């Protein structure tokens, strides 16, 4: 049963990250004044994508907690890789929340960043994904 739980966890992690990769890319285009004719469409796309990625995040976290309940020793033993992974997940949740706040700014036509800022902002989930996967698979420390 554990392998099924892990499989569902990974499937919805992919869903979550797909949203984390694409939503900021929408922000890049939404922040470009030459795309003003598409702003209403961007708002709809951003809202729907945020909903899908939030569902992915919730299911990912839920099944991650189930795996943690089945392997509670990770919290008690000196598994530094796991503690580092948990910290990065907290950062990822912060990034998810930042995406929400930016979506609200776009919705209210109150964006304060240019498209170049969003291009850099878009890189964060890639870095987090790489490090989280290395921690979970390689367990380097």
Q: What angle do CA 138, 140, 141 make, to 5 degrees?
A: 140
Structure tokens at 56: 């992915």
Residue 97 is labelled as binding a ligand: no
Cα(33)–Cα(109) distance, integer angstroms: 12
**70: which residues sit within 8 A by CB, 6+ positions away?**
2, 5
User: Of 118, 134, 106, 133, nearest to 46 (Cα)?
Assistant: 106
Residue 85 is labelled as binding a ligand: yes
User: Of 39, 56, 19, nearest to 105 (Cα)?
Assistant: 39
Cα(48)–Cα(111) distance, integer angstroms: 19
Binding site feature residues: 9, 85
Q: Which residues are annotated as a binding site for heme?
A: 9, 85
């Amino acid at each position: 049963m554990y392998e099924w739980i892990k499989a569902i966890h990974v499937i919805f992690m992919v869903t979550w990250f797909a949203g984390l990769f694409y939503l900021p890319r929408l922000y890049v285009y939404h922040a470009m004044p030459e795309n003003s004719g598409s702003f209403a469409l961007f708002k709809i796309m951003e809202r729907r994508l945020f909903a899908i990625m939030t569902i992915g995040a919730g299911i990912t976290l839920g099944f991650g907690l189930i795996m943690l309940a089945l392997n509670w020793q990770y919290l008690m033993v000196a598994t530094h890789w796991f503690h580092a992974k948990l910290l990065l997940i907290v950062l990822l949740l912060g990034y998810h929340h930042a995406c929400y706040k930016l979506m609200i700014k776009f919705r209210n036509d109150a964006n304060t960043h240019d498209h170049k800022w969003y291009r850099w902002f878009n890189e964060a989930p890639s870095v987090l994904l790489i490090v989280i996967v290395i921690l979970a698979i390689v367990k380097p420390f």
